[in-house]
Chain A
Amino acid sequence: MSATPAPAHQRATAESPVARIVLIGVALAFLGLFLLLPLIAVFAEGLQRGIGPFLDAIVEPDALSAIRLTLTVAAISVPLNIVFGIAAAWAITKFDFPGKGLLITLIDLPFSVSPVVAGLMYILLFGSSGWFASVLADQDMQIVFAVPGIVLATIFVTFPFVARELIPLMQEQGRDDEEAALSLGASGWQTFWHVTLPNIRWGLLYGVLLCNARAMGEFGAVSVVSGHIRGETNTMPLHVEILYNEYNFVAAFAVASLLAGLALVTLVLKSVLEWRFDYHRGGTGH
């Protein structure tokens, strides 16, 4: 990533070498200071007493429970959001109906609402004095301060990822392929399975990846509805916070390292997908 010497033939838009070095330097310094250094710090803090305490913090029952819960929540919310996302993108791009603009706006709502507010909405609906409190009490169901509430909050904050990824892609592809399949006698399901899904697969994978990263990392909304019951309703991000507040830094950073590791894996997969995605889009242009 070092600055290379200026090529002999400069393009008109290229800056002078000095300006270039300064710009690149500033960008790199900024990235290093605000992104790379903290990331390294997380791993360094976690490992400061060696690998033993690091692993102990991860295999400790409460931590394992948090990891299990995080994976469970992701395993429920990501597939649901795949279905919701495809359905919403399909409806928006393949059909014309009144209220389409409103639907598009609604899909963006989770991005514009603070996660804390999202969590509070569920408390307001399903909490002990919420709108559906009596119904829930009759059925002896607990949503808030339990796993269902965490799943709901996670679905809410991760809802846009798949739909947002698919809408522009499906808009660009139009309806011709689907219409062609139907004209050849394919059923709706065959059309989706053999034509639509293959056309959107890379975009879909990309959206799923982002959705998953957010589902595992979500703190704000989950924190509000979780109730922070150790070993029961703590996800990994919440577990990190509790450990940190208890001055158990090694354990906190060890679990945080695990989360950061997941994020890094996601980034690598994302880059691979982007590369494939571009290749596929570029390779099939008319």
Chain B
Amino acid sequence: MGITVSGISKRFGAFTALGDIDLEARPGEFLALLGPSGSGKTTLLRIIAGLEFPDTGTVAFDGVDVTNQPITDRGVGFVFQQYALFRHMTVADNVAFGLTVRKRSTRPAKAEIARRVEELLDLVQLKDLGKRYPAQLSGGQRQRVALARALAVEPRILLLDEPFGALDAKVRKDLRRWLRELHDRMGLTSIFVTHDQEEALELADRVVVMDHGVIEQVSAPEAIYNDPASAFVFDFVGESNRLPVSVRGGRAHFGGHAFDVATDGTRDGDATLFFRPHDVEIVGAGAAALPAVVSLARPRGGGTRIEARIEGREAPLELDYTGDAPPRPGDRIGVRPLRARLFPAG
């Protein structure tokens, strides 16, 4: 089921949570809403669910306008950050809830409900825990009960608010993979909110990067990382170094040094230069490069992570060195960005 969001805006008092959002989720797609807290990602998810209503704009499922439908009628599955399991009900009763509250005419028979619950608990690998109470489960188990409960009403759309936020790292990784499989197997259209870029890049078909209530970029994970659309995205996703430079004659100037960079039509004047730690060449001091002094060098991954201080910049640069003889603290080096991006200062 496709989701189309057009021209959505939402204010809470004087605070603009969302400003004019357009977004499309294709049928069967797995979308991540990624952004820092306060970026409006959760508000957008809640508006799509029908838990919040926009000031302007529309939400449509498969072309049908559902903007004014409350969540009860939208038939979406929603998984809450803290799971929101009903603590006085057993796991089985939690999962059955969406079926037992149906009107008599559409409610399955008791035996049928029990069978469906059994099936769902099997699906989320909690077969023997139906009689337990939520308080007797681990975080990962609760998460899976919440999923089973949401899936019991057979939604075509699954919305998840920080689904892995409250779990520890190991469980998180397993659940991620499992959720992705589930999504594919059931043919769902899913949107999940996260502030964890690794999670978004690993799990989603496309990542929606948000900041201050607007969408900065919607792209496949590779493009988000390799071709960020804005300074914010470059900074927020992955590690990066930023240098305040001035652009003159197609070159970027920093403290008397000039780099050749693709200026992409950036007008002459102040700009910010971004480059990733691994997109640099470290050369000997004196070469035509940015002079820096190594302040820290420690092994990391297959290479060495170097922190180097340069004149005219407070924070050290973060650089990756993969050669055999890494520079040592105190060494003078030259830094030459290989792939860098310029964004107008602002």
Contact = CB atoms under 8 A, between A and B. Distances in A.
A138 B87 CA distance: 54
B84 A180 contact: yes
A76 B34 CA distance: 54
A179 B97 contact: no
A182 B52 CA distance: 13
Interface residues of A, number: 20
Contacts of A186: 72, 97-98, 101
A179 B101 contact: no
Nearest to B134: A284
A176 B80 contact: yes
Contacts of A284: 87, 133-135
B78 A190 contact: no
Contact of A179 (B78, B98, B153, B166): B78
A177 B135 CA distance: 15
A62 to B, nearest CB: 47
Contacts of A181: 86, 97, 101
Interface string B137-161: 0000000000001101100000000
A62 B273 CA distance: 92
Contact of A194 (B51, B101, B152): B101
B102 interface: yes
Main secondary structure of the interface of A (DSSP, over half): helix
Interface in A269-286: 283-286
B76 A183 contact: yes
B135 A182 contact: no
Contact of B86 (A183, A195, A283, A285): A195
A185 B101 contact: yes
A185 B102 contact: yes
Contacts of B104: none
A283 B134 CA distance: 10
A187 interface: yes
Contacts of A195: 86
A253 B84 CA distance: 53
Given A185-B72, A185-B101, A285-B135, 13 more contacts: A176-B82, A176-B84, A180-B78, A180-B86, A183-B71, A183-B76, A183-B78, A185-B75, A185-B102, A194-B97, A199-B88, A283-B135, A284-B134
Interface of B: 49, 51, 70-72, 75-78, 80, 82, 84-88, 97-98, 101-102, 133-135, 149-150, 152-153, 166
In the complex, the 7 A-B pairs of residues with the closest C-beta atoms, listed nearest first: A184-B98, A176-B84, A180-B84, A186-B101, A183-B78, A198-B88, A284-B87
20 contacts: A177-B86, A179-B71, A179-B80, A180-B80, A180-B86, A180-B149, A182-B71, A183-B76, A184-B152, A185-B72, A185-B75, A185-B98, A185-B101, A186-B97, A187-B72, A190-B101, A284-B87, A284-B135, A286-B82, A286-B166
